[in-house]
Every structure is written in C-alpha cells, then in structure tokens.
A and B are shown apart, each in its own frame.
Chain A
C-alpha cells in the first residue's frame, strides 16, 4: 500500500537488537499514522592514522556484535579547500545509543586522527539519508500492520519512503489545557499539593464540546461541560482517557513547559498512574530540566507553549508587550482577558461555597481557552511549520532548538550530497581550551544626531551577508588555508582567500543561493496569490526562508557550531563594512547628497525636497547608481522614505516612514532601539513618550512637544493624572521571605498583609503606586485603592524623574531641551529659541549667573533638584551638590536684595 502523510515526529526503538525508525504523522483525512522502517543502521566516520588493521582489530575485540560493518570510503574533509578526497572509514553499528561508546574507544586509544558525524541524532541521520524533512509530506510504501506499541489510527511497515510535493498543511488537532493547583500558601509543591482541576479546550471540538473542565471534587450546582470526580486520581485518569480518545497532535498551554506538564507528571507518579502522554505506549513523557527551563517530549505529538512563543516574538522584535502574563497578553492580542481571580484567591475559592468553585472552574476554562486562541488566531505556528520544511527538523525541535541546529541539519544533507563529512560538535572540554577569537562586528556610521525634517531615503542591501557568501564564494570548503596553493582564487576585502567559483562552488553559497531564489519565488507567488489561506502559508514560508538565509553568518561565528570558523565570520562582516563605506562614498562623491546614518546593511540619505514622491525618485536613482557600481557583488534597494527622522544615537532612531505598496504610500512610525515598553514603566511613561514622538515626527513641532510635556508635568504635580496611568506592576514570584533586599511590590504586600490580613500571594501581580515621603522608595509603595480612598498624595517627583523623564530625556536633549527645563527649573526663554532654531549649544541651561534680583527657591547645581527651602546641611540631599538660588532668570550663587530693616540679614 501507499500512504501519504505529513510528518510530525520521528524517533526509533530497538527491536530484536536492531533499531526501528518510527515516523509519526497525519493523513489528509485526519488519521494519525505511524510508519515503521527497519533495516537502517547508524554510522559515523573516522580518519585513521594509516592503521586500518589496528582499528579493525580493536573493534573486533571490543565491539563484535555491535559494529556490523567497517568500510573504506572516499570523502572530502570539511575545513579548508581540498583538491582530493581522502580515504576514511565508515563504521556502521546496530544500536544508535552505543555510537558514543565506540567513538570514545577509538579516540582514547589514539587510533584515529579525526571523528566525523558521530553525534548526529539517529533520526536526523535517517531523515538526511532518505531526504526527508520535518513537516513535509511523505509517501510510504509498505504493508499495513498492527502493533501494541503505539496509539495511532494507522500503522504501516514501510519498505520505501520518499518526499512528495504538497503545499498545503494537514488540519491538526489541538488540545489546550491548564491546571489549577491547590496550595494554601506559597508556590505549589507537586509532592503534596493536588491538582484541583484541569481545564481543556479543543480545536476541533471533542464530543461536540469546545471545552471541558475536569474537577477533582464533587461540587453541586455546576454548569455543563464540567465533569466532577471523587478525587485527584480519578480526575487524572479521565485526563489520560481524554488524551487517548481525542488523540491530539498538538498539546497547547501557557507556560506548560515549565509548570503544567512537569506538575502533571509528578502528580501522575504520586497517584501511581502511567505517564504516557505521547503516542507511544512504551515511552513515558520525558520532562528534562535544562538550565532553568524544562523541555518536554511526548512522542508523536507536539508541545506548544504559547508563553514561549510570545517571548520569542518579543525577543525578535515582532511583538511589543509590557507584561507577559496570560491576562495581559490576551488583552493586547485578543482583546479578551482572564477572569478576575488572583492566584492567592484560588485556595479560598476551592474551599469556598459552590458558587466560588463554579467561578474558579470558569476561570480555569478561560485560561486554556485563551492559550488555544493565542496559538490559533495569531498564527504563531505557521513560521515553525515552514521552518521544519526548510531546515528538515521535526516540529518539536524547531520550536525548542536554536538556529545552529537548523543550519547544521541543512549542512548535513548538503555535505553528504557533495561527499563531504561534517565534524562533530566541539565537546565541552574542547570549548574550554578553544581560544575565543575576536569577532569584529558590522559598521555603524556616525549618525547626524537630531531631528531631520527633510525626507530621508532609506536604502538597504538585499540579503547583505548571504550575498557576500555568494559573491566571494565564502565557505569552509573553499577557504584557502595554504598560501602556496596554485588555484584561481578570490581575495575578499577582508584579505581572506577563497577558491574561485570556476574551481569549486562552495556548499554554503550554493545553499544560500537556493534559499534566496526560493524566497524570491515564494514572494512573487505571494504577490500574485488572491487566496487568503495561500497567502498566509506563503508569507510564513518566505519568513522561514529569510530566517534560514540569515542564520548562516551567525553560525560560522558560533563557538559551539560544528563549523565554527572565525575567519569566515570576520570575512563576512569585513566585506559588509567595506560595502557600506563604499556606498557612502559613491553617494556623497557622485551625487552630493548627505548620508546621515548607516548601519550594517542600510544607509540613510538626506534629500532636500518637500515632496515624498521627489525623494522617492531621487532614491531610485541612488539605488541604480550604487547597483551599477557594485554589480556582481550585491544589490541595493530603496526600502522606505522617512518624512521626518529623529536620530538619538547609533542604533537608536525613530521616524515617520512611507513605503510604497501597490502604488500607494503607507505610513508607519518606525522605532529602532528606543524603548517604548518596559515592564517596570507605568502607562504614563509609554503614553507621554509616544505622544512626544508623534508631535515631533508628524507635526515637526518641538515647541508643541515641549509644551505638551510641561503641561503633563504640571498635571502630574497637581495630581490630575488618573491613578491608573501611574500604576506599576510586578509579580510576586516567590515567598516573601525568599526576597533578599527590599522591593516596592514585596514591601507593599507585607504592608497589606498587616493592614488587611490578606494580600496578593505567590504568582499574583501586584499593582502599586509610589506615594510622597522621605523613606526609601521601596517603603513608599502603596495600594492604588488605598491611596485613592485616603487621598494620599503621590510622589510626583518620583514619577517625573524615574518614570516620565528617563525615556524622554534623550529625545528632548537632541532637540536642545534639558531635563532641568522639563522639570521647570532653569531658563524660561527656551520657547523663543525653539521658534528660531531647533538646536542650542549644550550647557547653556547650566550657566550660573553672577547674581539675580529675586528667587523662588533653591536648586542643586549638579542634579537640578529643586528645594523650596535650603537643606539643613547646606548641600543637595541627593548628590551633595552646591545649592544655588533659583529663579525664572536662572541660577545664581548670589542674590541682589535690599535689606530693609534687617531683612535677609543674618
């Protein structure tokens, strides 16, 4: 029979002293599949020291029965250009798990000069040899069979496997779950604290239900879609049963990797229940702690932790979120949120009235529902599906692994095809001795800091680093390590030499060219496509191709990579620096336009015109000029036009960008390196920053921005800002006694506990405001409700200096407004200056006048802290700075005053 399926997972088991590869997948009609493949054995390569017999002798002596074959094969070694292949030994075994044993023996007896590919995972060795990629469609030829080892709809014993083309993905079954543990205090302990309930959400539905909550105690007055049990054990048995009946492909949850899954496994163990959450009936689910993270593997299924997907998106700059709690994330992304029960209230609800239990159940249901919606509605998995196809890794490894693993899986196939061997990964002890070579980064041109109100053309090099790989034929296999070698070569601007393409095209440039061409093709198809679903898939595919294309440069400079070659990484950045510099010179010398900034692979050119269209046309001319000059190396492309651009420093700018899409201009506020969301900021900080940037960029009106912020500061001082905007939130992540030092949110919880008897507990988020006072900041945190009820004044100074001003300071500084002016200290003549000129000589605000005629208070000469009355110690209480008179006229050490009747006299 022939069976087509989309690959989800791959592993192996040992049956009768031989490995059997198992491919788990899903057919077009939604059936779960497991394909068995026998007669495939693991192998690796060694470079002998002209002592083939000795190796054979040692293996026969030590590993008879394990090593099944030793062959002499011809292969190229991986690093440095080689004219000829070398004779090396291919050692085949019958147990993948014992490969390290044989390898270590050969190395310890110093019989080999080098070992290759001895640490390739067996499943990837198999997939490479059969040219199978994770999440691609496969046609298995063989016979249908039965087995008690897996829980799937169809089992096939295959004799032949091949990848087939099918662009579309199968509809997967998603099961999201969330557990509620019952602990009286502190973090739940899986050894004693039971799971009170598990909420489960399904897509598609299960027995006509989209969700179900299973509860480990009998409780009356409950709604539908709830199942109650006598105890936790019965509830967990039901959970295992649902898992088997529904047979999901994907297990979803929010922070399930680090909490729910390890906890469930512990409770299953405590209740003497099996832990087979995957599709294998023999292998229990594995939960391993790697560093501070848990990695969970359920054979045949994919575990998707929405929390980790969100974190990754934030890390990559695709999402801007201040807080990562499920409630906050859902509010931002789904416009829906968790139900209002804090973590510390769960215990009370569980032991409370039936209405409270019912509320807790619905709270739990909402959690699993939101996690599922995040994954499905936001399409977080699309990119990973395509990454599996491009890199060849199975989906779980794409989700859990890094870029190096993806690159190496591609290299494994391509090296093998080109008869090269791959080195083993450097082992820990080797890393310690390996001298870390300095990697020189990209070139960042000195920016012209300030607010630019003329249009700026943003040009960037198309796939700069991959293009450099291709243009200079850069690859470990083409690197000339011997100066005396008489072959045609290319000397890069960095000085390294690689053999010419006419001699040998490198493997990396070949892979990269293929990826770039494929991406161009996909993007062209995406443009043409009208079907929404196809567009979505093509978009995911082009993103995956882009990720893989850009991963190669970093890989060569990654210390733990099999092909860590710092000379290559440095060559790439060296060429990049050369190209950016060259481009700058071409533009400035041949056109006279000014380059205001450039970073890595992009350059910004100021065009003196009022019209975006004109700027775009000029940008197009610049694009062709540069492309003509750099023909055959790299292509430059106009990316966007900034109508206005505020450059704060290297790597930090914001601008109002215009991009042409389908003949129409699309406007976008671009921010690079400017923090707009931070978890420890209150909303007011983000709001004011955005508003100021909007005024500066859209209206190009520094005066208005200044007035806006002065107005905001006044409101803040008059307590007219809504308290909600001033709330800072932080989570209680451990018991209060475990906190070392004082933290505002922890101190508040202690205060609330003493005051009310109850307070937020571990896992809860605490919102607090800072009130006026002279104690340490951490002691001045207060409950917003308490503050409102008791009309306690907030510490406007704290909000101003620690929340509102820090993100704004640099912005205002570059347009010539100092912090002291924002705070209302110092010169008042600024607005006049703003009318005339955006820029003012720095430091004028700090001028100290000889004397003034009146004063309204005192100010520190260093930190500009304002005092109504001179401090008792005669110096600034904050920084010990000198105290000066402060007045609208400025600052001075002296006051000129009439001293009628002893007035102002000591």
Chain B
C-alpha cells in the first residue's frame, strides 16, 4: 500500500496516523501485513511509531543488500568450519583443490558442496572446483552448500571419496546446568486465531502454569495475528508466577537463561531434509547438527547464518514441525514441539538437572 491507501485505511477505521508512522508503514511490508490485514486489531486514536514498535521487534524495513554481504556469509561459514576440520586427524594429506593431480594418490580437501547428484560431487574451495565420485551410501547425507571435509583416493584421473568428515560438535561436552532450581517450557504453534484452536487445551495450559514455580515459559512460532488474542495471552501469563521469556520468533533466536544457551527456531526448513533422508524430525536434526548448520542449503529466499551453529546451544527447540519429539545429542537437548491445534505435547526441562518430562495439555 502507498501512503494514500494507508491513510484511507486508518480513516475508515476512525484512526489517524502521524507522519513518521506513515513512512514507517509504507516502507515496511511486514508491518503492513501484521497491522493492516488484522481485521480485529484495536487501534488507538492516533497511530504513532510507538504503537508500531510493539510489532516491529520481529520485522524490519526493506533494505539494500549488496552482493558482498552474501559473499561474507559464505566466507564466514567456510572459514569457520575449515578451522574445525583442519585439525581433524581423519583428513590426512590435506591439499587445496588446485593441487589435485595424478602425482598425489591419497589426499583430503575441505570445501563447499557446489553440486551433488548421481554419485558425483563438485566441491569448491578458494582455489577452484573439482569433481569427485562418491558411493551412494557415503554421499547419502550430503547437502549442497554445506562445508565438509573429504578424504579421497586418486585413481585413473578420478577423485574417489573414501570418507566424509563433518565438523560436528565435540564428543566430550558437559551439559550446562543452572546452579539454582529452574525449569523451562517451550510452547509453540498456538494458533489462537485459528478456527481449529482448542480453547480447552489453552485453559489446561494456563491452569497448569498457575501451579508452576521457577519456570521460564518460551512462547514462539505462530501465536496469533490478532492483537487482542496476544494481549489475552500476556494477561493470562502475567497472572501466574512464571516468566514469559520470548514471543514471536520469526526464524531463529538465541536466548540465555543463566548459563544455559537456548536456540528457539521456526522449523519450516526441516521438512525438506526429512523428506530427503526419510527420517524423523529428531534424527534429521541430529544429522544437521553434525553439519553445524540446521539449514545449510542457500536459496535466494534464504541467505543467512541464522541456523549456523558456530556456538553450540544447550537446548534447541523447534516449532512448526507438528511432531513432538525429544533427543539429546552430545549434551544438547533437541526438541520438536507439538501444536495447540492437534497435539499439545511439550517438554519441561529441569535446567538444574537437565531432566526432561513430557506434558500433554489435552489431558492435563
């Protein structure tokens, strides 16, 4: 919408808008979607940028991104993982791609996957690209754009991959724990604005909250597009003794509770890998974890380092999967949540002991 259309919209709703807010709205498509398309939003008499701010924490303006920014993303990933892999003893005789030749029969390389299909693999490093042949089994979990290490044998002018080395996370890693008693729960995909939203589950949830102490509640994923429903949730939680930690996560955020690092993430990206590997959400996540990147494939729509695991969170909780599951991988608790529409199953984690237990709001 342009300025005139926005002005007309608010006038029809009996509201006015100041100049700054008008410019902000015109340039922020996300805000337009949240505010202008919400039919039941209660509007103040004058729309100011303060009003917009409460919706802006998950959005931003359209901005000019130069090519070099994207180049830096890739560069950062490559160098970070290279520095991990370079010390891996499985990668012997490590060479640059431009040095591959018939004189060196056994070698290793580190590079970004450019292409992968039909047992063929194209790997790129900063010196060039090369073709590798790989068995179906070995290449099963390779994803384009991830950074990996390859141990190879050169035979008949062909580079045959004998082993793949992923950056992974250290084997020995102690689980972080809080010193004081503390728990947390990750609630996602409430969909309060959906016709399928189950009021009973919600009430069970709030009732349960009221009984809790020393609990941090993390709410993320789709909550509602209607401001009054979000306000209702805020109010209901405020009447309990729990702490509301986060709302409206769009892609992925890291939060810290004492010394525990938590990654909350929308899980829309996971579906493609689950389909590719035909694996359950938790196992899929473990495989991605080994790559130190929950979404390695770069697409024009998604070109960032949000899911890149340069530091390892203690807990990862994913929304939008619709299949509740929990697993632990080398000290990190990995959760996928249920949904308030069908299967309101979530996990409570005791951060002092790192014990977990399941809670089902359909029966609580």
Contact = CB atoms under 8 A, between A and B. Distances in A.
Interface of A: 747, 751, 754-755, 772-775, 779-780, 791-793, 851, 854-858, 869-874, 877, 883-885, 893-906
B170 interface: no
Contacts of B305: 906
B300 A855 contact: yes
Interface string B64-82: 1111111111111010000
B238 interface: no
15 contacts: A751-B156, A773-B120, A774-B129, A775-B130, A793-B120, A856-B300, A870-B74, A872-B124, A895-B66, A898-B60, A900-B251, A901-B59, A901-B250, A904-B65, A906-B304
A127 B252 CA distance: 100
Interface of chain B, main secondary structure:
mixed
- Sorted from nearest, which 5 A-B pairs have the closest CB atoms? A901-B250, A773-B131, A774-B129, A874-B71, A901-B251
A877 B127 CA distance: 9
Interface stretch (B14-22, B111-119, B280-288, B339-347): B111-119
B157 interface: yes
B60 A900 contact: yes
B30 interface: yes
Nearest to A850: B64
Contacts of B65: 894-897, 899, 904
Given A893-B67, A901-B251, A869 B298 contact: yes
Interface string B60-102: 1111111111111111101000000000000000000000000
Interface of B: 28-30, 58-76, 78, 111-112, 114-115, 117-118, 120, 122, 124-126, 128-131, 144-145, 156-157, 249-253, 298, 300, 302-306
A903 B61 CA distance: 11
Contacts of B250: 900-903
A894 B71 contact: no
A592 to B, nearest CB: 54
A84 B75 CA distance: 91
A589 to B, nearest CB: 57
Contacts of B60: 898-900
A898 B78 CA distance: 25
B130 A900 contact: no
A858 B303 CA distance: 13
A883 B71 contact: yes
Given A774-B128, A774-B131, A754 B156 contact: yes
A791 B304 contact: no
Given A772-B120, A775-B130, A898 B70 contact: no
Given A754-B156, A874-B75, A906-B305, A869 B145 contact: yes
Contacts of B73: 906
Find the residue from A754, A774, A899, A905 having the highest chain B CB count within 10 A.
A774
A754 B155 CA distance: 10
A854 B65 CA distance: 11
A896 B304 contact: no
B75 A872 contact: yes
Given A772-B120, A773-B122, A895-B64, A900 B157 contact: no
Given A872-B126, A902-B252, A854 B300 contact: yes
Contacts of B145: 869
A870 B67 contact: yes
B247 to A, nearest CB: 13
B58 A873 contact: no
A780 B75 CA distance: 29
Contacts of A854: 300
Nearest to B69: A906
B209 to A, nearest CB: 26
A902 B251 contact: yes
Given A872-B78, A885-B67, A779 B129 contact: no
B114 A874 contact: no
A774 B67 contact: no
A871 B124 contact: yes
Given A774-B131, A898-B62, A904 B126 contact: no
Contact of A893 (B66, B115, B303): B66
Given A854-B300, A857-B300, A870-B74, A793 B118 contact: yes
B129 A897 contact: no
B25 to A, nearest CB: 13
B45 to A, nearest CB: 29
B36 to A, nearest CB: 15
Contacts of A858: 67
Contacts of B30: 898, 900
Contact of A870 (B70, B249, B252): B70
A84 to B, nearest CB: 79
B7 to A, nearest CB: 22
Given A870-B70, A900-B60, A877 B120 contact: no
Contacts of A903: 250-251, 302-304, 306
B58 A894 contact: no
Given A903-B302, A906-B69, 14 more contacts: A751-B157, A773-B131, A780-B131, A872-B126, A874-B75, A877-B124, A885-B67, A896-B65, A898-B61, A900-B30, A901-B58, A901-B251, A904-B304, A906-B305
B126 to A, nearest CB: 5
A896 B112 contact: no
A872 B112 contact: yes
A570 B60 CA distance: 77
Contacts of B75: 872, 874
Contact of B63 (A747, A855, A877, A896): A896
Given A791-B118, A870-B71, A877 B128 contact: yes
B211 to A, nearest CB: 33
Contacts of B78: 872
Nearest to A884: B67
A780 B158 CA distance: 10
A851 B64 contact: yes
Contacts of A905: 69, 304
Nearest to A901: B250
Nearest to B68: A874
Find the residue from A747, A854, A856, A873 having the highest chain B CB count within 10 A.
A873
Contacts of B129: 774, 877
A779 B158 CA distance: 9
A82 to B, nearest CB: 73
B14 to A, nearest CB: 29
A67 B293 CA distance: 101
Find the residue from B144, B157, B304 having the highest chain A CB count within 10 A.
B157
Find the residue from A791, A858, A873, A906 having the highest chain B CB count within 10 A.
A906
Contacts of B126: 872-873
A102 B64 CA distance: 92
Contacts of B66: 893-895
Find the residue from B63, B156, B251 having the highest chain A CB count within 10 A.
B63
A902 B118 contact: no
B122 A774 contact: yes
A750 to B, nearest CB: 8
Nearest to B129: A774
Contacts of A869: 74, 112, 114, 144-145, 298
Given A793-B117, A872-B124, A903-B251, A755 B58 contact: no
A867 to B, nearest CB: 9
A779 B100 CA distance: 13
A559 B156 CA distance: 53
A447 B268 CA distance: 61
Find the residue from B65, B128, B144, B252 having the highest chain A CB count within 10 A.
B65
Nearest to B77: A872
A881 to B, nearest CB: 12
Nearest to B306: A902
Nearest to B300: A855
A906 B124 contact: no
Nearest to A874: B71
A906 B73 CA distance: 6
Contacts of B112: 869, 872
A871 B112 CA distance: 9
A871 B28 CA distance: 31
